[in-house]
């Protein structure tokens, strides 16, 4: 039986992927991971997660490219997206929001901050 909460974590840093996956597991998510934009798109199509956690700076395709792909895909449209980035400029956040990102979290972050962003992202898309 497929878990009700699944997440795809996309970050080119393996340590960040592990940390985010650990936090998501504590929230009851089954997690799939990807290290670049190209494999992330394949994983999205294969796994159809209930949450996408994505860095904006990735090899192959950017987090923005992935968000654009999600927005154009009839089967993924409406997927809650949490963008996690080291970039804190207002323009980065605005660009993410234009592409349908529900929440934008700046690195570094605490587990409490992460949990709150995940909760808001999930609520935003179910509203």
Measured from the Cβ of residue 126, the count of other Cβ atoms closer than 10 Å reads 8
pLDDT band at 2 (very low <50, low <70, confident <90, very high): low
- Catalogue all structural domains in the chain, each as residue range(s) with its CATH number: 6-126 (3.40.50.2300)
pLDDT greater than 50 at residue 1: no
pLDDT in tens, 16-64: 999 999 999 999 999 999 999 999 999 999 989 999 999 999 999 999 9
| Predicted TM-score (pTM) of this structure | 0.94
Query: In which residue are the tokens 């949990």 written?
Result: 115
pLDDT in tens, 90-122: 899 999 999 999 999 999 999 999 999 999 999
| Cβ–Cβ under 8 Å, residues 81 and 69 | no
CA-to-CA distance for 111 and 17, rounded, in angstroms? 14
């Amino acid at each position: 039986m497929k878990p009700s909460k699944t997440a795809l974590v996309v970050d080119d840093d393996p340590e960040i992927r592990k940390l985010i996956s650990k936090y998501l597991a504590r929230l009851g998510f089954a997690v799939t991971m990807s290290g670049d934009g190209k494999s992330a798109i394949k994983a999205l199509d294969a796994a159809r997660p209930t949450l996408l956690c994505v860095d904006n700076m990735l090899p192959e395709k950017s987090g923005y490219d992935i968000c654009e792909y999600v927005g154009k895909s009839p089967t993924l449209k409406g997927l809650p997206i949490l963008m996690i980035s080291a970039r804190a400029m207002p323009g980065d956040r605005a660009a993410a929001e234009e592409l349908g990102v529900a929440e934008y979290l700046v690195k570094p972050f605490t587990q409490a901050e992460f949990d709150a962003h995940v909760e808001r992202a999930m609520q935003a898309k179910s509203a």
